[in-house]
Structure 1
Amino acid sequence: MKSFWIVLIGFFLFTSSAKAQPKDYGDISAEDFLAYDSTYNESASAVILFEKGVVEFDSDYNCILQLHRRIKILTDQGADYGDIEIPAYKPARQNVSSIKAVTYILNEDGEIEEKKINEEDIFTSVEGHVIEVKKFTMPDLQPGVIIEYYYRKKMGNAFMMPDWEFHGYIPIEWSEIEMIVPSTLNYRMVFKGGDTLHINEAERINNLVNNMPAQSIRLAKKDLKPIESLPFLLNRDDHVSSVITQLTGMSIPGYYPRNFPRSWDEIIKQLNEREDFGKQKANRAIKGLVNSIITDGMNDLEKVEAVYSYMVNNFEWDGYHYLVTEKGIRDTFDDKMGNSADLNLLLTIMLREAGIGTNPALISTRDNGSVLGDYPSLNQFNMLVVAVESEEGVFMLDASSGLRSYTFPHPKLLFRNALVIRKDNTFGWLLTHSLENSSERLSMNYSLKDSSKIAVSISARTKGAFSEQLRSDVDRLDFNSYWEDYYSDLEDVTVDSSSFTNLQNLGESVTYKTSFSMEKEERLKLGNEFIYLNPFLFLSEPENPFIKTERNLPIEFPFPYGKQHLVRVTLPDGYIVDEIPESVEVNLPDQGGYYRFQTNLTGDVLTLVSITSINTYYYAPDQYQEIKELFEAKYKATNSQVVLKKESSE
């Protein structure tokens, strides 16, 4: 679970007794090269010895960040941390200046050599017309050197106070942020993450900004382990401890005092009063279409399915996510195209016209990170969806993800906290979920009786996410290209037939059948007396994704699911089974799931069944070893060999 706490920056003191701080730029000694104990994290390629940010304001209340960072390179791979890029957002009038950088080398005589970056070594590039990036590479990068750099960045106006992340992809010995805030500005601070602050102190100072008093807030953490991007971790940034700021008011001399929304209630009210959000209404054409779609006797779910199906079959997403409509639902209706807010606000209004209780909802997709409920800010969200609140239940819809059943939204939208915005200015939180379970039941049959070919037939029935993935893949690649991609890992394959059912019928499960043949020598190890075979062929688990000895972060699957793969092999004449894999069963605690592998030999038919059940999307770090064991068992079982022995002629 995410943890956070909130502080309003005012004129008070909160202190913690601690005396530690980074060194000044250029203050380095031979002892600094021995300061990092590599046993702290033996796999690290580099370590940040310290980093310090100082945030202050100029006389025009522009926010200025000064950053000072020192890194020790430990391996050849660590040299990547010597490629420095500093972005600036041009529309906010950001700019970067006062860059200093140096590489320190401890030579054989115990003396420190310095290799500095010159102005001509710094390059500027523009990305997407709005981002200007300063780039430079530190000289003489090699294991054992220490690099240090400093820059000054104008962030923009008072709304652009930067957040500060304490964690990195490599270990950090010391991370500190100091904020010097004039008394004319009020900020809310939210602390995310469970690590303890090593320094947490504030003091009133006489600042030089317009001769106004200010508060200096100093926050620091030490001995921070890296936060890596791991398999089955939905968003690494959700687990990075940080301090987030939000401007809540300003009282600058000569201007009227201003307060900004400080609660969800204020934000909801403002959204409902906006023409591009709460004031959107259906016209005669939209109402007429809804009346033509809805028929007497439909229940709520049938109405939802009918209106939703019309939307996804007749409207196109333009590829952009917004929180408000860009051109209004009436123009979206006419154009049959729009951004996610255009489409989903139109879907909301159409369902209301059909008598369904629906409201717009704001969501942060998985790649955008989790939402902090006690931090009222629209900046946390990146997409608008539809929340259905009817007698049949509460669930989410999205008309911008293409041809999908309404029962299973895109995985990027699942298990997210959506802010539901109602017409009466109330709000609620919806943990998004699917209405349908996800499963795949696949059967593969083939015979080894032919002397040169293996004839294979596959049939499968899918539900939920697996059906939607097939719809998406076939729509993206087209029918023929899909099967070319399906067989791309196999050599000398001759496809005999392939077919799908229910690709366009969004309310039904997608099934498919395919048959093909391939050269026996490509898949079997043939000897004079023995045949060695992996019976799962290309359905074998390619690897165990959980290879680390320990894991301090949760395991998060895209969705719960069940998979059953059944393989039937008809053995060749003149051979008997000499060795088959043993049956396996691994169960997760608290009925969290299981893996089962079974074999059976009846006559000349060998049957193998691999069953995986993952019953929830979230597993705590203390369940990592069980998850690792389950997937290791699956990897070994589906990659195990069957040994066939030629029958004796005696």
Structure 2
Amino acid sequence: MKHLYLASLFLLSSFSFAQSTFNSDTYSVSRNDITTNTYSKDSTATALVIYEYGNSYIDRDTYTLKTEIKKKIKILNRNGFDRATETIYLYNNNKGKEKVSKIFATTSNLENGAITKTELKRDEVFEEKYNEQYTLVKFTLPNIKEGSVITYSYQLESPFIYKFHPWEFQDDIPKLYSEYNTSIPGNYDYHIKLVGTQKLNKSESKIVKNCLSAFNGASADCVNTIYAMSNIPAFIEEDYMTARQNYLSRLEYELKVFRGFDGSVDNITKSWKDADNELRSDANIGRQLRRNTSLKDEVANLITGAQNPLIVAQNLYTYVQNNYTWNGDHKIFTDVSIKDLIKSKSGNVSEINILLHNLLYEHGIEVKPVLLSTRANGLPTQLFPVISEFNYLIVQATINGDTYLLDATDPYLGFGELPYKCLNHYGRLLDFDNGSTWLPIEASNPSSIHYQVDLKITDQLVNGEVKAHYLGYDALSKKKEFFVNKDAYIKNNADRQSDITVTNHEVPVADKNSEAFHETYDVVLNDSHNTQDMVYLNPFIYKFFKENPFKLQQRTYPIDFGHQKTYLYSVQIDFGETYDIVEIPKSIQAKLPNNGGDLILNTTVNAQKVMLFFKFSLKNSIYEPEHYELFKLYLNKVLEVQQNSLVVLKKK
């Protein structure tokens, strides 16, 4: 009986283990795939890619790029039902169009102990025009339930061989296995780029002879490669990051050279020297940079008597800001005309900043244009020029030995400030005489918020004065809100804290593009928790964070604030001769690794006043993912200080 019990226990354990195992080796659906309804490595996952396969090759008969795709996905709960809908984007232009065929899809369920399969019908596949360049083919698998396993496959055909099919190993749901097979003929030479932090489990290549042939008897060998990744975590977007495509683990291809069977060689990917030459003669960039503005008479009064070139540059910059409006267009290489901008007073990014460039140049300022990609647009490739990856143009001015990066599209920007969206690590400085170079794109000054609070406690109430100071990007957001509608700004400021009454609000700001924003106002605390004999007061009447923005179990990409930032809060509480101190917050000092920031809380009592000083600084603009857990703890400590600090007084 003892042996029988042990054997039964072993079989039960084996069965339990099998039940928790997905079949990630093949496309076929196993019983375990259907009966296993949790994924232990990610309890938040709504669906799971069990198996994924791709195969791209040049068809030897049609010379088109064909890609076969297969996916097997587990629906873990109702929130994963959207995974049952697949959308395929097909590109087209005047030279050809992409096609999709051989669509097969099946939903597998467990019903009454038996596996049932429901197939997608042909009339359940829909096609619609998305825009001038893309058509959508969309289908939704039938009979979806919690626990369903869906499989689908299809074949893509593309005449655009210069853009070999990319492959995304990572998605916003986890994947157990993803494999991509490629077969690339030797006459196609691609740049191949692996993006992201995930590592390949497999990267194997072999040569296949005579995989492609031509009518004249010429042939090419192919390099056949298998790339694979296992146990790929979901990519979840969180605050303080640049574009998703900067970090999503994937393969990208860019054709650099094509060698024809007739012996011809076409260099598709240019060098930066070639790109510079093309941009120099380009009607939208190079030629516009040489245009005369014909505005010397109009701006003459701005620079009359100005001896310092910095003052000249600042006045010209403000002139462009206040007289020309950005139309919101990021298409920096099309329809650029300085002449049209001067006439209409409205234009795209290139027009406004090239006008600024030309005005500064005409008045003796050393200037160069800078191409960049905004944070949401992704980082441009540095290995070789891909001009289409840039979507913004700014100006570099060198004055009295100092360098300034300028953007005149926003009237609230100070001289040398860039929009936050431009803080995307680097840009390309165009120098048509000496050649273009990469240029770091950084904030010119740190940003900060500083509250100075002076409170007085009496028997009836707590009141006082607040002085608030904002610098950098914190000032920029305040200026925009204030100058758009001053009355609404004052009202909103009063409404932000329902337990505080705000009066006598003043904003001593002279110009909307000044570097700082200041405001002062009187406050009365409506809920200071006074009792007959006791006062309980949280000295943080204004808080920097409502919650911790960092909530992921694991973050595989950097925390990117874009700029340095400091939070300062100082408060003086006058409790007079009526009260004695019972409790004050304890002082705290903490630091982020590598001197990346400080958390300081100092409290002192001097005569009849409690003085508290709080500082929370981010000395780096970027923090690597290995410090993520510590950073979460750091923010939790800030929240704890803000929410739980308490000054307790007792009436004498």
Pairing partner for 2:489 from 478, 482, 505? 482
How far apart in 2 are the matches of 1:470 and 1:155? 50
State yes or no: 1:30 paired with 2:31: yes
Partner of residue 635, structure 1: 639
Q: How does 1:241-640 map to 2 (within 5 A)?
A: 241-251=249-259, 258-280=266-288, 281-283=290-292, 285-289=294-298, 292-295=301-304, 298-324=307-333, 326-424=335-433, 426-449=435-458, 451=460, 455-475=463-483, 477-491=484-498, 494-502=501-509, 504=511, 506-517=513-524, 520=526, 523-525=527-529, 530-539=534-543, 541-548=545-552, 550-571=554-575, 575-640=579-644
Q: Would the alpha carbon gap of residues 438 and 492 (structure 1) be closer, same or farther in structure 2, given more than 3 Å must change? A: closer
Give the total of aligned pairs.
621
Contact 1:290 1:353 (C-alpha < 8 Å) held by counterparts: no
Shift of 1:389: 4.1
Partner of residue 15, structure 1: none
How far apart in 2 are the matches of 1:122 and 1:528? 74
How far apart in 2 are the matches of 1:205 and 1:482? 72
Partner of residue 144, structure 1: 147
Q: Would the alpha carbon gap of residues 293 and 540 (structure 1) be closer, same or farther in structure 2, given more than 3 Å must change? A: closer
Shift of 1:217: 3.7
Partner of residue 190, structure 2: 187
Shift of 1:116: 2.4
Partner of residue 101, structure 1: 105
Contact 1:362 1:381 (C-alpha < 8 Å) held by counterparts: yes
Per-residue CA deviation, residues 528-554 of structure 1 (Å, 9 max, x unaligned), is 665443332342531223345654432
How far apart in 1 are the matches of 2:111 and 2:330? 54
Per-residue CA deviation, residues 327-357 of structure 1 (Å, 9 max, x unaligned), is 3122222222111111122222222212222
Q: Would the alpha carbon gap of residues 318 and 202 (structure 1) be closer, same or farther in structure 2, given more than 3 Å must change? A: farther
Shift of 1:323: 3.2
Partner of residue 17, structure 2: none
Shift of 1:404: 0.5
Shift of 1:238: 1.8
How far apart in 2 are the matches of 1:530 and 1:80? 56
Q: Which amino acid aligns with 1:553?
A: Y
Unmatched segments (≥5 aa) in structure 1: 1-19
Q: Secondary structure at the match of 1:39?
A: coil
How far apart in 2 are the matches of 1:23 and 1:225? 20
TM-score normalized with structure 1 length:
0.85
Q: Would the alpha carbon gap of residues 146 and 298 (structure 1) be closer, same or farther in structure 2, given more than 3 Å must change? A: farther
Q: How does 1:142-221 map to 2 (within 5 A)?
A: 142-155=145-158, 157-182=160-185, 185-193=188-196, 195-196=199-200, 198-204=202-208, 206-207=210-211, 213=220, 215=222, 216-221=224-229
Per-residue CA deviation, residues 271-327 of structure 1 (Å, 9 max, x unaligned), is 111121112223361344465544455444333322221111111111011232523
Partner of residue 84, structure 1: 86
Report the more deviating stretch, 541-550 or 576-585: 541-550
Q: Which amino acid aligns with 1:147?
A: I
Contact 1:57 1:209 (C-alpha < 8 Å) held by counterparts: no
Q: Secondary structure at the match of 1:200?
A: strand
Contact 2:293 2:355 (C-alpha < 8 Å) held by counterparts: no
Contact 1:594 1:614 (C-alpha < 8 Å) held by counterparts: yes
Q: Which amino acid aligns with 1:363?
A: L
Shift of 1:150: 2.1
How far apart in 2 are the matches of 1:132 and 1:407? 43
Pairing partner for 1:133 from 110, 133, 136? 136
Partner of residue 12, structure 1: none
Shift of 1:104: 1.6
Q: Would the alpha carbon gap of residues 643 and 361 (structure 1) be closer, same or farther in structure 2, given more than 3 Å must change? A: closer
Per-residue CA deviation, residues 214-264 of structure 1 (Å, 9 max, x unaligned), is 624432222322332133333333222322212224455689753323311
Shift of 1:68: 1.8
Report the more deviating stretch, 381-390 or 632-641: 381-390
Q: Would the alpha carbon gap of residues 629 and 22 (structure 1) be closer, same or farther in structure 2, given more than 3 Å must change? A: closer
Q: Which amino acid aligns with 1:162?
A: H
State yes or no: 1:647 paired with 2:651: yes
Q: Would the alpha carbon gap of residues 136 and 479 (structure 1) be closer, same or farther in structure 2, given more than 3 Å must change? A: farther
Q: Would the alpha carbon gap of residues 368 and 295 (structure 1) be closer, same or farther in structure 2, given more than 3 Å must change? A: same
Q: Secondary structure at the match of 1:405?
A: coil
State yes or no: 1:114 paired with 2:123: no
Q: Which amino acid aligns with 1:534?
A: N
Partner of residue 14, structure 1: none
Report the more deviating stretch, 390-399 or 556-565: 390-399
How far apart in 1 are the matches of 2:32 and 2:410? 57
How far apart in 1 are the matches of 2:560 and 2:427? 19
How far apart in 1 are the matches of 2:494 and 2:631? 30
How far apart in 2 are the matches of 1:98 and 1:502? 66
Q: Secondary structure at the match of 1:40?
A: coil
Partner of residue 45, structure 1: 46
Q: Which amino acid aligns with 2:271?
A: S
Partner of residue 13, structure 2: none
Per-residue CA deviation, residues 149-204 of structure 1 (Å, 9 max, x unaligned), is 22334455234433222222222222222334455544322233452351331433
Report the more deviating stretch, 210-219 or 616-625: 210-219
Q: Secondary structure at the match of 2:341?
A: helix
Contact 1:46 1:75 (C-alpha < 8 Å) held by counterparts: yes
Q: Which amino acid aligns with 1:282?
A: R
Shift of 1:363: 0.7
Per-residue CA deviation, residues 589-633 of structure 1 (Å, 9 max, x unaligned), is 333220111223445543332211111112223333443333222
Report the more deviating stretch, 222-231 or 546-555: 546-555
Q: Which amino acid aligns with 2:31?
A: A
How far apart in 2 are the matches of 1:527 and 1:135? 66
How far apart in 2 are the matches of 1:637 and 1:179? 55
